[in-house]
Structure 1
């Protein structure tokens, strides 16, 4: 800690600032694990939409005869 004194004799105590750390999460750059989960979730949502379109095109009903 750093202690300073002003012209009135009052002391101020300042904490040391921690050093900055840059973490690389994985080999895909600086994307966080939350961003990876969002990409995974979005890709599976797109797979669901595509499978709905394909089942409608093949059977004429959405989701293989349920709707």
Structure 2
């Protein structure tokens, strides 16, 4: 595939303010919830979406997690 034929890539950053219940989960539980509950909804709208989850461990800011 040539550069002219390639689809453009878009990177979206979602700055997320979560609930205390979310923050009480372990990192493993958060990743599991994201991959089983959030990601399928996104992929139902856009099939080629991939994601990365960054656990920032912010507890008193406007943003608690970053999803890429």
For normalisation by structure 1, the TM-score amounts to 0.28
Larger Rg: 1
Q: By percentage of residues, which structure has more helix?
A: 1
